């Protein structure tokens, strides 16, 4: 808790949380949502193609979408870290945050496996695609639940 309290009291964390400008916390949330759209949305398109939707599109041509997936991941990593700096206690004391992080980690591993084994390797990957969709849906739901399931907003403030 000492580390979380220290982060909360840094000028940067206070600025993220308390700035009246729409260019700070609300903008970080908007950027995070756009990053998730790039990451999870494009990933869903790849997964659905692996599952047999849009059969007129050759699977190897889906490889061109992976830079978009990584772009979305980078945007979410940066915006997510900024949101985390704003409210570290809210995140680290909430088990749903760890569910979200686990879903993202598994989703990223599945994304790499689908690219290597299915898109580039030509193997079947329907099970990977179904799991991938489930984990990205789980990450999105867990992310939304974070706003409503906290116990501690800050070190000395309960939700």
pLDDT tens-place string over residues 74-130: 999 999 999 999 999 999 999 999 999 999 999 999 999 999 999 999 999 999 999
Cα 155 from Cα 54, distance rounded (Å): 50
Exposure pattern of 75-90 as b/e (b: 16+ CB <10 Å)? bbeebbebbbbbbbbb
Q: What integer is the mean pLDDT of 118-143?
A: 97
- Distance, CA of 110 to CA of 40 (rounded, Å): 12
pLDDT band at 67 (very low <50, low <70, confident <90, very high): very high
pLDDT of residue 6: 95
pTM listed for this prediction: 0.93
pLDDT value at 1 more than 80: no
Question: Residue 159: what pLDDT?
Answer: 81
54 torsion bin: left (phi>0), alpha (psi -120 to 50), beta (else): left
Structural domain including 9 reads 2-158
Q: How many domains does the chain have?
A: 1
Q: Over the chain, what is the mean pLDDT? A: 95
């Amino acid at each position: 808790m000492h580390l979380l309290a220290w982060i909360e009291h840094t000028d940067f964390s206070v600025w993220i949380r308390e700035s009246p400008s729409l260019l700070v916390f609300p903008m970080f949330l908007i950027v995070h949502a756009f990053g998730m759209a790039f990451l999870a949305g494009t990933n869903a398109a790849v997964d659905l193609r692996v599952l047999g939707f849009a059969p007129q599109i050759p699977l190897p041509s889906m490889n061109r979408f992976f830079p978009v997936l990584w772009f979305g991941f980078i945007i979410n990593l940066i915006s997510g870290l900024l949101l985390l700096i704003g409210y570290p206690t809210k995140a680290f004391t909430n088990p749903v945050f760890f569910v979200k992080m686990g879903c993202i980690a598994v989703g990223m591993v599945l994304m790499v496996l689908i690219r290597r084994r299915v898109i580039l390797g030509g193997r079947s990957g329907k099970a990977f695609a179904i799991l991938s969709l489930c984990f990205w849906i789980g990450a999105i739901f867990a992310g939304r639940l974070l706003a409503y399931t906290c116990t501690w907003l800050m070190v000395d403030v309960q939700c």
